[in-house]
Amino acid sequence: MSVWRFRQSGENNFDFNRAPVRIMALPASNWTSMGASSVAIATVLALWYVASSTLAWFRLRKFSGPALASFSYLWIARKMRSGRMHRVVAETQRQYGPIVRIGPNELLVYDPETVWHINGLRSGYGRGGWYEAMRFDPDGHNIFSEPDTALHDARKAKLASAYSSRGGVDFEGVVDTQIGVLVDLLEKKYVQRQRGGAAATKVVDFGILAKYFTTDVTTHACMGEPWGDLPTETDMYHFLGDSEEFVPMMHCIGMVPMLRSFFASPFFLALAGPKTTDTRGLGQFLGYARAYRMIGACPGCHELTLTGTHPGSQSARLRNGSVATSRLWTARET
């Protein structure tokens, strides 16, 4: 058998000479062996899938639901991805009843007595695996993603004092301040006074203003000053925009154990998850929380100046560090 052989005769020149080259071919028995091995592997995988799907179906076979959902996560992943899950839930429950099977190991419950039993103080039910999809720090779980019920309850107890009357934050005052900002915005931009005192109004998308209002109330209460989304009508640090892109994906991943195990793993989060050095979105928010945690770790440091980190100015003073720490930094036990 002949092939082309390239022989270099200079620094950048090549001579192309046709020369016979002998190639050793694998015996037919080797190809047959490789093919048989591939078929065997494929057969084993197929049998494993059939056996695992049958086992998954058998465990909750008494509960009705979509046929595909009884042995595969494809059904719920597609519904989550569609963005219509809230409607799908209602439609599915009307069709199948108050307890519906929506996955190989998942039941959707819309029965008050069952829900009270599950959420009882000593019910014995643990937190579902989908909570782990809300993990965004490779160093540990936050209060939402913690799968261990005992650790979750202990962490909630630590946070409770920050939201009590002894927490050091005037929540009513914070809300009143932002309501004042909202009213002022509506009066100046969306209500125009005409001659004679009559008012001419402009259409306002209150859904967007409500998001800005919520963001400024939260950041004002937690960080001492608002981000300024509401008065500027701007997603100042892309937190809302990034969340709208991230949350639907998180919901979809959260319902598929294989995807959840990978995307919520310390390896993936360390590689592609939000970082405290980010200049926008969730990573930037984590950076603020870590800064407050640093203050809380120093009992005598009731005030610290951070340069170029806090929204609204190049330097901002962070006060009441211990309170802010207990409220914000929940990603890892200290």
Looking at residue 213, its pLDDT comes to 96
Encode pLDDT of 203-231 as tens digits: 889 999 999 999 999 888 877 889 899 99
DSSP-assigned letter for residue 132: G
Encode pLDDT of 232-255 as tens digits: 999 988 889 888 888 888 888 888
Distance from C-alpha of 173 to C-alpha of 178, rounded to nearest angstrom: 9
Question: Across the strands, what pairs with 107?
Answer: 101
Q: How far from each other are the two terminal CA atoms of the chain, in whole angstroms?
A: 71
Q: Quick check: helix, strand or coil at residue 13? A: coil
Rounded to 5, what percent of the chain is helix, strand, coil? 55, 10, 35
Neighbour tally for 235: CB within 10 Å: 20
Contact 161, 167 (CB under 8 A): yes
Alpha helix ranges (H) inside 186-310: 206-223, 229-232, 239-254, 257-263, 266-272, 281-296
Looking at residue 128, its pLDDT comes to 83
Contact 219, 225 (CB under 8 A): yes
Looking at residue 214, its pLDDT comes to 95
Residue spans of the chain under pLDDT 50: 1-12, 14-16, 19, 21, 26, 296-334
Looking at residue 270, its pLDDT comes to 87
Give 31's contacts (C-beta < 8 A, 6+ positions apart): none
Give 4's contacts (C-beta < 8 A, 6+ positions apart): 16, 18
**Residues in the chain, overall count:** 334
Looking at residue 328, its pLDDT comes to 40
Looking at residue 247, its pLDDT comes to 80
CA angle 225, 231, 237 (to 5 degrees): 65
Encode pLDDT of 111-128 as tens digits: 888 888 888 877 788 888
CA angle 244, 245, 248 (to 5 degrees): 80
138: part of which helix (H) or strand (E)?
none
DSSP-assigned letter for residue 293: H
The reported pTM is: 0.64
318: part of which helix (H) or strand (E)?
strand 315-319
